[in-house]
Amino acid sequence: MTDAKPGLFRRFFGGVGRAISWLRVVFINLAFVVFLVVFLTAIFKSAPVIDVQEGSALLIAPNGVIVEQKTVLDPLTTLMQNAAEEDSETRLWDIVDAINEATADNRISALILKLDGVVGLGLVKAEEIARSVQAFKATGRPVIAYGEYYNQSTYRLASEADEVYMHPMGVVFMSGFDVFRNYYKELLDTLLIDFHIFRVGEYKSALEPYMRNDMSLEAKQANQHWLTSLWTRYTNTVSEKRGLKEGRLQQLIDNVDRELAQTEGNAAAMAVRVGLVDEVLSRPEMEDMLQERFGESLDGGANLIHMDIYLQERRMAQLPSEAARIGVVIAQGEIVDGDSVPGAVGGDTLAYQIQRAESDDSVKALVLRVDSPGGSVFASEVIREQLLRFQASGKPLVVSMSSLAASGGYWISANADKVFAAEQTLTGSIGIFGAMPTIQRGLGHIGVSTDGVGTTQMAGAGRIDLPMNPVAAASIQQSIEFGYRRFLEIVAEGRGMTTDQVDGLARGRVWTGADALEKGLVDATGGLNDALAAAAELAELEAYDAKWIQPEMSFLESLAHVFNVRQADVFDSLLGRLGVQWAALQTPYLLIDPRQQFALCTECATP
């Protein structure tokens, strides 16, 4: 009996092991088959026969956040996430390319702006699109905007249209530009947490929420300056486009309750009355109007072609070009040390992209498109060093600033041969900070103490359960001050100033692109096309193509890119029904810097 039991157990667990192995093989094979079927379906679905009918209207209907460059997620993250529409992204330059192609295409009779799906745009990106819309309008063809809801940034774009329509239950929501932040000093005091701040510059307010319970006077003055500058330009532009009297838009927003009372609370009727909208139309009425004006499509709707389909058709029709190339590298998001993480700029990743541009003989110049509030000082310097090496190769470097090029974003921009900013760009914020919390008081309150011995005066430095080491504190502050002086030297060298001149513009203060031009922090105002033209001139090129130098992608990402489908589109139908919430498993990344020094503008949230 005693010998039988081990044999029985072995047979039982052996059977369980074989069953698990069999199930594992079956699951892997089934998963591969399902993936193959879904992926092939996505391929064929994403590559239809495209026929652009004569007289078609091009439909610009982006979804999600308008970005300079789509976020590259690792396959596992993409596989596990249950993507919602607000998480989706539309590449700014796809919109611009579609409109530019339509401008030269006589088959396209009109442009339709449908902006309800946009959840994030920003003024600088709206202006880039607006420039393309203006070029289309210059050909004499109409531009029509239709929305069920307009916010300030989408309405700025809609104001470019010859005709603006809105749903009867819609609204144009405007509240002006503002900066409001939460402040935690009282909470930290209540929790007995000491937050040790190291910074240079009275305008470097990134850490004010941990130091105070309100915004400092210096921060209020600086923020009010750039907010007023941007708002004045916005109201003047919209008023000019819509034929409103000077000051009417400000009056409307300040007295919206009274204005709304005149239409008995009907926001759409108020928008028509004050001249923001030309007419209200329901969805069926809008469809009928479009069919009447542009004809009927083969599937029975209005003769419209979506920009995604149109771009596929145009790109498939384009022949390879032998023109010289200007590389375009995008720095989008906060700057972190090492490789990029979703939504951030990895110093090593971006440096490698710049190195690829340097070693590519077909690339004769480089445009760095910056849309970043900064971040790690070390990573910013890694990127700047690689840019200097690119310039040392004899190729010109031009910077094009998008919504943000502040702090570390300016650090990597300052030494370019030429720097362009939009008038609405937020830039500057030249300053450095560091911070460290300690919780020894809170631990003591609940009966936890820390004690020990060490061999130097720095023993225990960096532990949050001990008071801040005074030697370490003095060393950190000195290091921060050195970093600030280095920042001043970099800017002075790049902009042809003295460090004293730069210091007068620095100390953490934020400037708009228009102000930065006046102060000498940038060379000109303009968009990406202006930067490309300047790069071509510096490289003495008469003809050129832009070459977008992307981060290296995995196999799945490459396939998705080739077939113009997001990986989430491939997997959503499979995993979406399982309700997998990958976000719950993710840990938000922290800003990474080996020395814990940051050039980051946290208040730089562009309207």
Question: What are phi and psi for residue 525, nearest 5 degrees?
Answer: -100, 145
Q: How far apart are the first and last CA of the chain?
A: 80
**Residue 407 annotated in active site:** yes
Rounded Cα–Cα distance for residues 255 and 257 (Å): 5
Contact criterion met (CB below 8 Å) for 328 and 353: no
> How distant is the alpha carbon of residue 529 from its chain centre?
19
Among residues 239, 205, 207, 210, the alpha carbon closest in space to that of 224 is found at 205
Catalytic entry in 109, 400, 407, 413 = 407
Strands 279-280 and 304-306 turn out to be unpaired
Task: Please list, in sequence order, all residues whose beta carbon lies within 8 angstroms of the beta carbon of residue 244, skipping any fewer than 6 positions away.
Answer: 238, 274, 275
Name residues whose C-beta falls within 8 Å of residue 532's C-beta, 6 or more positions apart in sequence. 326, 328, 367, 398, 544, 546
| 31-42 CB burial, b ≥16 within 10 A, e <16 | eeeeeeebbeeb
Element holding 29 (H helix, E strand):
helix 4-46
From 114, 204, 395, 519, active-site residue: 204
From residue 454, how far is each of 213, 444, 449, 450, 458 by CA, in Å? 37, 21, 17, 13, 8
For the chain, how big is the Rg over CA atoms in Å?
28
DSSP letter string over 381-446?
A: HHHHHHHHHHHHTT--EEEEEEEEEETHHHHTTTTSSEEEE-TT-EEE---EEEEEEE-HHHHHHT
Cβ atoms 380, 601 nearer than 8 A:
no
Q: Is 204 a catalytic residue?
A: yes
Cα–Cα distance, 403 to 290 (Å, whole number): 34
Distance CA 52, CA 105 (A): 10
Count other Cβ atoms within 10 Å, centred on residue 248. Answer: 16
Helix (H, G, I), strand (E, B) or coil at 524: strand
Paired with 145 in beta bridges are 113, 164
Catalytically annotated residues: 204, 407
